Structure formats: C-alpha cells, structure tokens
Amino acid sequence: MTTKEEHQDKVLKEVTEQEYKYGFQTNIEMDMFPKGLNEEIVRKISEIRNEPDWVLEFRLKAFHAWQKMEKPQWAHLQIPEIDFQDLIYYAKPKPKKKLNSLDDVDPEILEVYEKLGIPLEEQKALAGVAVDAVFDSVSVKTTFQKELKERGIIFCPISEAVRDYPGLVKEYLGSVVPYSDNYYAALNSAVFTDGSFVYIPKGVKSPMELSSYFRINSAGTGQFERTLIIVEEGGYVSYLEGCTAPQRDENQLHAAVVELIAKKDAEIKYSTVQNWYPGDKEGKGGIFNFVTKRGICKGNHSKISWTQVETGSAITWKYPSTILKGDNAIAEFYSVAVTNNYQQADTGTKMIHIGKNTKSTIISKGISAGYSQNSYRGLVDIKRSAVNSRNYSVCDSLLMGNKCGAHTFPYIDIENHTSVVEHEATTSNISEEQLFYLQQRGLDEESAINMIVNGYAKEVLNQLPMEFAVEAQKLLEISLEGSVG
Amino acid sequence: MKMNPILEIKNLHAKIGDKEIIKGLNLTVYPGEVHAIMGPNGTGKSTLAYIIAGKDGYEVTQGDILFNGKSILDMSPEERALEGIFLGFQYPVEIPGVSMTNFMKAAIDAQRKYQGLDPVKPGEFLKMYREKQALVNMPDKIKNRSVNEGFSGGEKKRNEIFQMAMLNPKLAILDETDSGLDIDALRSVAEGVNKLRNKDNAFIIITHYQRLLDYIVPDIVHIMYDGKIVKTGDKELAKELEAKGYDTLVKS
C-alpha cells in the first residue's frame, strides 16, 4: 500500500467514525395505528382527520391504484426490500393541552428544535420567516398567520386547508402529480398525513419567506407529507423546506409529494435543505427518501425555481421537475447533492417544454465521498409546440477518495428544430494541488476542503435565501468532515 | 555575535517513489539575506521548494531541515506556513467559487489564531488588503474574483507576491516567479519583494535566468545541479552563469 492509499484509508476511517450530529430521540407520547396498510387503515386515517368524502375517495382511488403498481427499478440505486405491511402509517404527537401560544407548545418538542439550533422563538425573530413546524404528522404550531392573512395569503397545514378551503384543495390536489403518477406518489396519495398548503392571491407578493421544518420522530412510522402551493396571476412566493431526523436503527420510508402551480406572471421559488438521517458508518439505518416534486408553469411568463441541498438520507430518489406549459415560462433547477459513507442518491430533474419560447436551466453539483454512489438523472423534453425554447444544463461531479462513484444520466428529447439545448458535464477530484495551495497559506486540511467544496457549490448556494445558505454551508461541512481526495 | 540561521538544510536526501531527486543538499540562510538558486530544468529546484513547504509525495531519506532551529520534517504543510514559511508557486492553482477576499481572510485568521489572536476585524482587513494591493500593483477588481480563476499569467504571479505581502512570512521561497512575465510585470514583482525585504526575513529565489536578479539583487547565489548545490558565490556568479552557460560552469 502506498502512503497515499494509507492516508485515504485513514481519512475514510475518520469519516466513517463520524456520527450523525442530529441523532437524538424525544419521548413524546404517540397516537399510533397498528402496522400495515389496507383499505381499513386508509379509511381510518381519513376518519381520524374528519375529512370530507371527496378526500377519502381520492385516497381510496390512490390506494387501489397503488396495489396494482410496481416499484420503479430504473434508478441507479440498490434498494433493500421494503415491507410495506411492516410500517405504521399514522402517528400523531399527543398535545398535552390545546395550543394557544408558543408557551403552550410541548416543551419537549421545543427542545427538539433547540437541539437542531432552530428554536421557534429564534425562528420567529429571524428576518421575517414564518414557520409551519411539522412534528411527525401533525402540525404543531403555525406562526405569522395574522400578517399573512392581511394580504390574503393562506399558509397552513394541508389538513386545515381541506377543512377551510375545500374548493381550492379539490381543484388542485393531484392536478400536477396525479395519484397514479408513480408507485410512491400513489402511496402518498393514499396515506398522506400532513404537509403545507400555500395560496397566494392575484398580484400578491409574499412579504416573507414561508418555511416549514419537517422531522420524523417515531420509530417505524413513515412520513408522507403532501405540499400544495398555488400562486395566482402576478403573485410571488419563496418557500423553504428543511429537515433533520433523529438517529435510529430501522430504515424509514419517506414518500412526499409536492405540487406547485404558477399562473400567468407568477413566480415560485422552492428551496430545500435536506438532512434526513443518512444511516450509520456501515450503511445501516437511515431514511429512504422517495419524493415526487413537480411544478407547472401554467400561465404565460410564469417562473418556477427549485433549489435543493441534499446531504441526508440513506437513499434519495428525487427529481423536482417543471412542466413549462405557458409561453415564455422559465424554470430553473439548482442542486447540490452530497453523499458520504454508504449513501446512495439518484436525483435530478425533468424539464418538460410545451409553451413557446420557454427557457430552462439546470445546474447540478454532485459531491461523493466515502463508499457512496451519486447519480444525476435529468430529462429535457421539448415538445413540438415548444418553438424557440432553450435549455442549458451543467452537471458537475466532484469525487473525494477513490471508493465512491459519480454518474450522469442525461436524457434529451427534442421534437422541433427551433430549440436549442446545451449540456455540459464534468467530473473531477478535489485536487491535491488545490489542497496544498490552501494549506501552504496556513489553512488546515479540514478548512481547506470546506473552502473548496463551498466554492464548488457556490453557484447553487447563492440561490438560497440568506439564513438558509448559512445553514446549508454548515451542513456541507458536517457531511464531509474528514473526507479527503 | 553571529545570528542564528532562519533555515538550515543539512545533507538532505529525498526521493519521489524510487527516484532520488535531492542528493545531499546543504543550505544555510540567515535573516536579512536573499539567496538565489539557479540551475537547469530537472535538477530538483522546485522539488526542494516543495519539500521545504511540506508537500505530500516526497520522502526525505536522510538529513534534516531546521527552521529557526527546529526540525520541520514532521510538521504538516499548514504548520510550516503558520511558523512563517511561504511558497510562491510556479503554477498557482485556480480555486473556483472561492473569492480572493474570503481566501485571504481565512489565511490571515488562521495565522492570527496560531499566534493566539482574535480574527481580524473586517475594516482593518480591508485596509490592509488595499495597502498590500497597492504594493504589488494589483488591480482592485481582482479581489472579488475567485482565487486565480481567469487571471492572466502576470496576475497570477503578482497575486503570489500579494499574498506574501499579506502574510508577511519569515522565509519566502519564490519558485520561478519570473517565468512567463513581461518586463513590467517582472518589475512590479521585484518591487514588491524589495519593499518587503528587511533584516528579519529572508528570501530564496528560484530562477533560471539572471534577468530577475537585475531587479532583486541577491546576497548569495547558488547553482544547483543534479540534486545538489554545486557552486555558491555572490551576485557575480549569476552573471558568469549567464555568460558561460550551465555546462561550462558546472563541469569546471
């Protein structure tokens, strides 16, 4: 063995010995259903939430479709057999009393947020961020409601939206991601428990970033978030989604669905920092994250922008996509995906151009370390009607060490001659030369790597709102501590 | 009273893989001195610079390198840097997405931390940054660019001297800083070095040509050949070398 290999092994050892920093569990009483999924469970979920019949119907249709569907096998992922009858499909933290103010929130729940470094109190104070805190399946606390209400903005748990704004939910739920879309979307549609609902009326620009922190906290339960964001003509919203999950031994399934609808001249900016528990150093445990996120630029001149920083989960299967239906619509996808140890990620986007003069941009930055596998998978689909449309894609991969893998699977489908599609891809290692250069100026190896990685990911991090960018930068550093190429 | 040397290299032998590159090299540098090391390509000049700075991949098989009386062979590259060794690179590497100011702030703060000081205040830092930029004629626009990214050859070299000015090292090794520079760039690089020279620091200038030495006048000139210093003299030696060529001088 050469010195270099020995060094790499030493470093890999250090990395793998690094424990998940947000691994802790709280002892909050849980309301739980028995394990397993059948029609009875679906009905019970709907019943316990006092849902109207049309929601139950939606769930049942989805459930029956799901029963007939196959799990997708095309991703570059090795997914262990998941026993869907061994999961719990509903868990709800028992509030100790009715919640009127922040003081009434379960102190243990507040403590969880404090451990995460994002206490609600601070969140409230943070530059105009309204937080819809989701603890397991039921929303605990919603802030800033009043200020939003004055502008006619609706920001609430989807369960409340079903009750209070049934017309809106009925019209749009499943309109971008139909329940029959794919295996995991069908499962979500059958058993979704909570998530956020956002409605921005015509001409209204949300005065603050809307933020939702998700967290899985019950051993053996799945998490099935459902998010629906509708922005009417000329409206604007920036939505932040972020999560960290406690450490546990069993694999956990997470199958969320996010639907975005942007009308004429509307703009939606959707940012995610994802840090689900990635599993331990042997690759045991960790969250399985199968997410369907899709937006539609419905009206002319509408815009949807996805930004994601993915550092967590044992398995990530996620392709935030945009249908560019309106003429002159714009869609963007900015992604940093970090995998370490035995993590696997297959992530990317789909840009479906239908309208004229539509424009999409894809900037994907993968970072692989340890024994991980990191794949970019993207589709640029330009329909016959999408004359003069453009796509620009950049897919970069950065490798740390020689035991990980980076893969790029770009699919391009063009049906007209007036469109322009550009694709660039690079794969590189963190170079010894760069490391030495920084070390020669007095930076230790750790700081040098952080600096190089943050520089590499900067184009994407720059897209995030300020507070989020800081958190994301911290996450990249935590995720890669000790890894050297 | 004789001062203590800043750098003492004693019978240094080093190899890359199985190939011995440095073959019994001795060099002593005192504070206030400027040494020039000249020699043809492939004699181990850059290797020597890398070994002093602690780059990975070289194995010292014999001898020692003392910096201010302490052996540095077991020190990491950053420790050596923090102790006061600076290497001006022959080919400065690009670091995309990392701005010059961020990079320099991190380097200065690392140094201050090593000295037990708090991080430099932003205002103070920017003032110092501007002063040192002026010292080496660095255009101000460069500070917002990524480290060395899209810099011209001359800008890259000037940037090395700028960083040296910021970090104020005890020993600076400039590895072919003159290569690829036009006469104006050469002059501003030399001016920068001359302004930084003082009785407490020392420079080792590695170069092929005597050209740079017209602007930075060395106290001592060494000729390196096949991994060893084969001849040492004053600045006249550089001129003699220029006139006669390596072959004649080395073999005489």
Q: Could you write out the three-class secondary structure of A5-30?
A: HHHHHHHHHHHHCCCCCCCCCCCCCE
- A459 interface with B at CB cutoff 8 Å: yes
Sequence-distant (6+) residues with CB within 8 A of A45 are A33, A59, A89, A90, A191, A193
Sequence-distant (6+) residues with CB within 8 A of A269 are A236, A237, A238, A239, A305, A307
Full 3-state SS string of A224-245:
CEEEEEEECCCCEEEEEEEEEC
What is the predicted pLDDT for the residue at B192? 87
The residue of chain A with its CA nearest to that of B17 is A2
What is the predicted pLDDT for the residue at A110? 57
CA distance B233 to B249: 12
Q: What are the chain A neighbours of B146 within 8 Å (beta carbons)?
A: 455
Sequence-distant (6+) residues with CB within 8 A of A100 are none
Interface test with B, best of A3, A441, A476 (most B CBs within 10 A): A441
A5 CA: distance to closest CA in chain B (Å): 12
Tell me the pLDDT tens digit for each residue of A327-372. 999 999 999 998 888 899 999 999 999 999 999 999 999 998 889 9
Closest CA to B193 of B86, B79, B106: B86
Q: Which residues pair with B35 in a beta bridge?
A: B204, B220
* ipTM beyond cut 0.85: yes
pLDDT class of A17 with cuts at 50, 70, 90 = very low
Cα-based torsion angle of the residue sequence B66, B70, B71, B75 in order, rounded to the nearest 10 degrees: -120
What is the predicted pLDDT for the residue at B136? 83
Sequence-distant (6+) residues with CB within 8 A of B125 are B104, B105, B108
Tell me the pLDDT tens digit for each residue of B36-75. 999 888 899 999 999 999 999 999 999 999 999 999 999 9
Q: What are the chain B neighbours of A451 within 8 Å (beta carbons)?
A: 95, 98, 102-103, 106
- A445 interface with B at CB cutoff 8 Å: yes
A8 CA: distance to closest CA in chain B (Å): 13
Question: Each residue of B129-140: b (16+ CB within 10 Å) or e?
Answer: beebbebbbbee
Give me the domains of chain B, ranges plus CATH numbers.
7-251 (3.40.50.300)
Is A440 within 8 Å of B77 when comparing Cβ atoms? yes
The residue of chain B with its CA nearest to that of A437 is B93
CA distance B49 to B88: 9
Tell me how crowded residue A466 is: count the other CB atoms within 10 A of its CB: 10
pLDDT class of A106 with cuts at 50, 70, 90 = low
- A144 interface with B at CB cutoff 8 Å: no
| Facing A442 at nearest CB: one of B97, B102, B110 | B110
Q: Would the pLDDT of A30 be above 70?
A: no
What is the predicted pLDDT for the residue at A327? 97
Q: What are the chain A neighbours of B111 within 8 Å (beta carbons)?
A: 442
What is the predicted pLDDT for the residue at A274? 79
What is the predicted pLDDT for the residue at A121? 45
| Facing B95 at nearest CB: one of A439, A445, A452 | A452
Q: Which residues pair with A259 in a beta bridge?
A: A228, A294
What is the predicted pLDDT for the residue at A45? 87
CA distance A71 to A317: 12
pLDDT class of A89 with cuts at 50, 70, 90 = confident
- A439 interface with B at CB cutoff 8 Å: yes
Closest CA to A421 of A459, A476, A369, A379: A379
- B144 interface with A at CB cutoff 8 Å: no
- Write out the two tokens for A35: 């394990």
pTM assigned to the model: 0.79
- B95 interface with A at CB cutoff 8 Å: yes
- Write out the two tokens for A105: 């929130």
Q: Would the pLDDT of A99 be above 90?
A: no
- Write out the two tokens for A150: 């004055």
| Facing B97 at nearest CB: one of A7, A438, A458 | A458
CA distance A145 to A334: 30
- B16 interface with A at CB cutoff 8 Å: no
- A432 interface with B at CB cutoff 8 Å: yes
Tell me the pLDDT tens digit for each residue of A436-473. 999 999 999 888 988 998 888 888 888 887 767 777 77
- A441 interface with B at CB cutoff 8 Å: yes
Tell me the pLDDT tens digit for each residue of B187-202. 888 888 999 999 999 9
Average pLDDT, chain A: 80
Tell me the pLDDT tens digit for each residue of B126-177. 999 999 998 888 888 888 889 999 898 888 989 999 999 999 999 999 999 8
Is A456 within 8 Å of B106 when comparing Cβ atoms? no
